[in-house]
Structure 1
Amino acid sequence: MAYRIAVTEVTLYGPLRCVAGFDLDREVMVRPEPAPAKFWEARVCGANTTFHPGHVVSFLGERPPTALPHNTEDVVVSGVPRRTGVLADYAFKRTLTRAEAFSPVRVFGEHLRFDGDKAYVPAGAPCGSLACQTVDGAQVTLFEQVYKDEHRLRAGLSIGGHVLHLSVAAKTLKQAFEKDGLAAAQALVPREGRVHVRLGLARPFDAAPDRCYLQVNGLHAL
């Protein structure tokens, strides 16, 4: 099946990258993958390569037998994905506005569970794994959390009346934080106007095999 997406987010998983985008023809969210539940190499993710927010990418793909909730958007790419265009700023913002239909309420519904300042969806839940929320820039905060001598970037955001402190997977924010510290990441958050917050579920991991935790996949000024 042929796909044409506008890339909305690129996230970091060690040296690898996860990509998601808005299907411009079907108006659904799509997660292109090189293999079922696998990530892309860094060389194809960046402003001068294939996958980067605002890039239009075309590819052939098939739905894989991955587990829910991620299976809702997973598509395994056949062959080589092609960057066919780069959206102008206004066109990218218009695409993000179209994607606003995929709110946490619509995507996760009753499956979204709150646990203190975290949120998750049970593994296998019949819902989606990619959502978004548009808020005033001042309502998004970034801060540093130290856990077992490891410094981690976190985002403060209110969802469904719950104040959450979410892990930040967004490539641009994490790279700024890891290279130049918290202030560098904070400088990338628009402080005025509306901000489109990309939200995604992490796949289950060994310490939490039955939970898909909510994380911030990207921030875009509208």
Structure 2
Amino acid sequence: MRLFITEVTEMSAGNYCVAGWDAQAQRMIRPLPNGQNWTSALLQQHAVTPGAAIDVFNNGHVHNGMYPHSTEDTPINTATIQHIAPAQARWFGVGAPPVGGSVQLAFGGHVAHNSVWNGALQGVFVPVGTQVGSLAAISLDRGQIDFVDEFGKLKALVNDGQFTYKLAVSSLALKSAWGQGGIPAVIHALPNAGQVHVRLGLARAFDMPAHKCYMMVNGVNW
């Protein structure tokens, strides 16, 4: 299957997650090399970045996970990964990965939150077991997303026109910029104005017992 890479996220040092749009099947895929996350070496070997394209092959195994992540989890044969030189990356319009009209609609109306602080919804999540995708996107004006450093963590303030959401940032590109130059570097890495395609993803539940998949900003593309 050919995937248009939509996001590369940093889960922990040296541990990455990749996702892409399968235009033929019209669905999001989370390719898992031999059922695992990606390493830095594997990302570099195949030049895997948002906007690139790769060909991968399902290894025939089923990833034993829970919804919502099992919607996209797809074990692949690592030896078959092939970088494809794509046409110009297309984030909007015909052929582009789909976007929801709001954060709530992007996740099928299943979005909940733990609290509200200074007008922003915090602890935004989708319950474990919900049969909906764990990867989605919304289209925003550049002015509808901002970034803050909160207790040493990069957070995004996303205003979809209905609510403002405070979300952790998992995007490798944005976290790398932040690590090098703080919030000014993050702002500099993005356009000053115009439409942006904001990738949203759900983290695998870590609470015990597992019942909340918290939402993150997986990337900002244009």
TM over 0.5: yes
Deviation at 1:96, TM superposition (A): 8.6
- What whole-Å deviation, never above 9, does each CA across 1:47-96 have from its counterpart, x for those lacking one? x634211221111114422110000011001242433423243x433589
SS at match of 1:98: coil
Amino acid at match of 1:86: A
Partners of 1:54 and 1:86 within 8 A in 2? no
CA contact (8 A) 1:55 1:83 kept: no
Higher strand share: 1
Aligned to 1:123: 128
TM-score, normalization: structure 2?
0.86
On the 8 A contact 2:92/2:197 being kept in 1, the answer is no
How much has 1:35 moved relative to structure 2?
4.2
Residues 153 and 96 of structure 1, relative CA distance in 2, 3 Å threshold: farther
Secondary structure of 2:191's counterpart equals coil
Residue 93 (str. 1) matches residue 85 (str. 2)? no
RMSD of Structure 2 on Structure 1 (CA): 2.2
The alignment status of 1:55 with 2:56, answered yes or no, reads no
1:60 aligned counterpart, secondary structure: coil
Q: Which of 141, 145, 150 does residue 140 from structure 1 map onto?
A: 145
Q: Deviations over 1:15-43 (max 9, x none)?
A: 2110000002112110001244x311011
Residue 24 (structure 2) pairs with residue 19 (structure 1): no
Q: In the alignment, which residue of structure 1 is the partner of 2:169? A: 168
Partner of 1:65: 64
Which 4+ residue blocks in structure 1 deviate beyond 6 angstroms?
none
Runs (5+) with no aligned partner, structure 2: none
Q: Deviations over 1:140-179 (max 9, x none)?
A: 1011101xxxx11111102472211100000000011112
User: In the alignment, what sits opposite 2:2?
Assistant: 4
Task: State how many pairs are aligned.
Answer: 212
* Further displaced range: 137-146 or 177-186: 177-186
Cα distance 1:94–1:111, how it changes in 2: closer, same or farther (>3 A)? Answer: closer
* 8 A contact 2:171–2:218 mirrored in 1: yes
Q: Which runs of 5 or more residues in structure 1 are unaligned?
A: none
Q: Secondary structure at the match of 1:179?
A: helix
